[in-house]
Structure 1
Amino acid sequence: MSIPGLQYLSLEYCGLSAPPKDLFSNMTSDVVELRITNYPGLKTLWMNDMATTGMTLASNLFSHPTLEELHLEGDNIAFGSEEVVPSNVFANCPRLTRLSLIQNNFENVDDARFLELLGHLSLEVLKLSGNKLTSFPLSTLTNFSNLSRLELIGVSISSIPDGAFDSLRNLSWLSLTFNGITTITKQTFSVETRERLNVLYLDMNPFTCTCELMWFRNWFVSDMELFHHNTNPPLEYNCNNLPLTSLANFSMVEQACLMSHDMNVMIVFICSVVIVTLTIVSLVFRFRWHIRLALYEVFRGRGDVRRLRLLADHFDYDVFVSYDKEDLPWVHQRLMPELETRLGLRLCVHERDFIPGNNIVDNIVECVQSSKKILMVFSKDFVRSQWCQFELTFCLTHVMDYDDVLIIVCMDDVASRDMTPAMMAVLRTTTYIQWEELDDAEHSFWGRLRLALHEIIPPPDAALP
């Protein structure tokens, strides 16, 4: 077939299942542009469902010496199948420089298959919009060094490798509209590539507006024409993670972006761990005696260690009395007559029984170890005495080691805010005896104290002189 002067041939909307195998075999016309398209329009190509069946192409179908521009759009051609698209379908097209393959099927098209089909063409314009290129590496495009225009609209690209387009030395028009791109960094496009581009469409991508995107945001604001190119109305560039915020209006404090996101996350994590650790250590230290006493109560024995110690050891004293010097009158006038005179017990009272010249700590340790029981007189003055607090700490350790208990006498109402953690722990885990100067209350007090000391009170005959 020869049609003099025929340069443009369109087979649009013909509903072809496959172009004629001898489309160019008998054609002597100098056809420059060929269109075989079946889709309704570019405006909605990435929103439409593809046809259920696609075209089948014959070997050497487009071989023609004058063909410069070819449009195969909306035909759902399965380019990944050798049976549907032979590897030589674009063979012998020496002048083919503009190729549009919009809205076809590029599943299973890897870089080897792509180069097998198109690698021999000196393409200047390539349109692959509407195809899913998830398994197609962008680095393959570096083989088309003559490309000046590249359309990749709605091809499911989620990220752009650094320098993916830098080898395309003639590229001036690039569209990556409607993909899944979240971030553009300074390394995505080299300085030379940025200077070379006249059009760069990146609208309708779900940008994540964080510190990592600030460089791109500044570039976008400084060169709006590059990203809009006289479009009316302007294209949409929005922050996907910030509703109702456009890319142009997004901003962040410079100091907040001095460190990388990963570094910020690590610092927050480390600080959180340190704070939690310090809090736990502080609580454990503050309530250490509560914890020790609670564990002691849980794991304490049945008194065997205490009874064996009372039977086996030799003791100089029956009761070690820990008190503050301000409470000495009560100890001398009330406690000692009751316990020593009436009950026949020998008390260790530091004003009387500590050995002169010995270190105070040594006196406390020796006297505690030489006593069967420990009685502590809690009062407001006891709280303020450092030596009393030392005695309390040492005595707590002592009774735990020997599976014993402290006998606590409270002289007055000691405010909880004044007490040390050790005193609070003891009062919360030990039944103490409250002193009150009332006849009935005093009688009850001595009865309870005798009950607490029943293990060491000698029989009535032994108490007589």
Structure 2
Amino acid sequence: MLAQRCYTVVDFVGPTLENYVGPKFFLLSQYVGPTFGQLVEPTCWANRIEYRVYRVKQTIRRSRLLPGNRETGRPFLPEDKKYDVYLSYSEEDYPWVREHILSHIDEWETEENNATAFGTYKMYCSDRDSHHGKSELENMCENIELSRVAVVVLSSSYTQKHLHTVELEHLLYSKDISVIQDIVIIMIEKLKFKQIPTVLHHQIKQDKFLRWEADEKKFYGDLIRYLK
């Protein structure tokens, strides 16, 4: 009869699992770490998926309600708009928007006795006008389409939120199919070119944007010219 030996833990002392996994994990993180982090970011994926679903639903709805233009492949859209201007900005920049935009040219914020020479416009401001029964993205897309022109308040905080990437995509798409007339960029702080969203590079290179300046009269004069 063969003798059986009971092995102890000491008999198995050798390289641990970390010795094998550690180096491989390190190499993997060096090559795919940043990409992997982006892929698993749930908010980015959720925003992207929700936006794609919205686009599909809108395409179906328009094809049923509004016969398409066979020459361009684009839908005919109603001309009536609820807002003159759609404001795109980060939450951190809301105080700036309130002080320098809404208080000067917004129809609802500007009091009659405090009216400026620049005129007033009906503006969509998410902090004030969003529908509480809808998602942030749905509010964003629907009100872009209900506006004539969009104003993007560009800053470092604006470029850091993924939802604004989706927002810019829908703005450019809406302009391409003539849902909105134009996109006006206001740069309220100095940014490096690499900080600016890629989709805006062409417009920035052509110098088609406004900078917030101390000369308010010139700034508002230029802004109103873009909004007309």
- Write the deviation string for residues 189-239 of structure 1: whole angstroms up to 9, x where unpaired: xxxxxxxxxxxxxxxxxxxxxxxxxxxxxxxxxxxxxxxxxxxxxxxxxxx
- Write the deviation string for residues 1-24 of structure 1: whole angstroms up to 9, x where unpaired: xxxxxxxxxxxxxxxxxxxxxxxx
CA contact (8 A) 2:84 2:123 kept: yes
What amino acid is aligned across from residue 351 of structure 1 in structure 2? D
1:432 aligns with 2:209: yes
Q: What residue number does 1:376 align with?
A: 152
Aligned counterparts, 1:152-301, within 5 A: none
1:404 aligns with 2:168: no
Q: What residue number does 1:328 align with?
A: 94
- Write the deviation string for residues 335-383 of structure 1: whole angstroms up to 9, x where unpaired: 0021112422111011111101202221111100101111111111111
Q: What residue number does 1:453 align with?
A: 227
What amino acid is aligned across from residue 313 of structure 1 in structure 2? E
CA contact (8 A) 1:320 1:347 kept: yes
In structure 1, how many angstroms separate the alpha carbons of the residues matched to 2:222 and 2:208?
A: 11
Cα offset, 1:430, TM superposition: 5.4
Q: Percent identity?
A: 21
Which stretch of the first structure deviates more once superposed, 330-339 or 412-421?
A: 412-421
Higher relative contact order, structure no. (Cα contacts within 8 Å, ≥ 6 residues apart): 2
Work out which of the residue numbers 91, 102, 105 in structure 2 matches 1:339: 105
Aligned counterparts, 1:115-134, within 5 A: none
In structure 1, how many angstroms separate the alpha carbons of the residues matched to 2:121 and 2:135?
A: 26
TM-score by length of 1: 0.29
Gaps of 5+ in 1: 1-307, 455-465
Q: What residue number does 1:421 align with?
A: 198
RMSD of aligned C-alpha atoms?
Answer: 1.9
In structure 2, how many angstroms separate the alpha carbons of the residues matched to 1:417 and 1:338?
A: 32
1:443 aligns with 2:217: yes
Work out which of the residue numbers 143, 147, 156 in structure 2 matches 1:367: 143
CA contact (8 A) 1:383 1:418 kept: yes
Cα offset, 1:392, TM superposition: 0.9
What amino acid is aligned across from residue 91 of structure 2 in structure 1? K
Q: How many residues align?
A: 142
What amino acid is aligned across from residue 324 of structure 1 in structure 2? S
SS in 1 for 2:80: coil
In structure 1, how many angstroms separate the alpha carbons of the residues matched to 2:177 and 2:149?
A: 13
TM-score by length of 2: 0.58
Work out which of the residue numbers 86, 107, 127 in structure 2 matches 1:351: 127
Q: What residue number does 2:21 align with?
A: none
Distance 1:390 1:326, change over 3 A: same
In structure 1, how many angstroms separate the alpha carbons of the residues matched to 2:170 and 2:98?
A: 24
1:317 aligns with 2:94: no
CA contact (8 A) 2:148 2:181 kept: no
CA contact (8 A) 1:382 1:389 kept: no
In structure 2, how many angstroms separate the alpha carbons of the residues matched to 1:424 and 1:435?
A: 19
In structure 2, how many angstroms separate the alpha carbons of the residues matched to 1:449 and 1:420?
A: 21
In structure 2, how many angstroms separate the alpha carbons of the residues matched to 1:362 and 1:430?
A: 31
Name the one with the larger helix percent: 2
Rg: which structure is higher? 1
Aligned counterparts, 1:80-119, within 5 A: none
Gaps of 5+ in 2: 1-75, 111-115
Cα offset, 1:388, TM superposition: 1.5
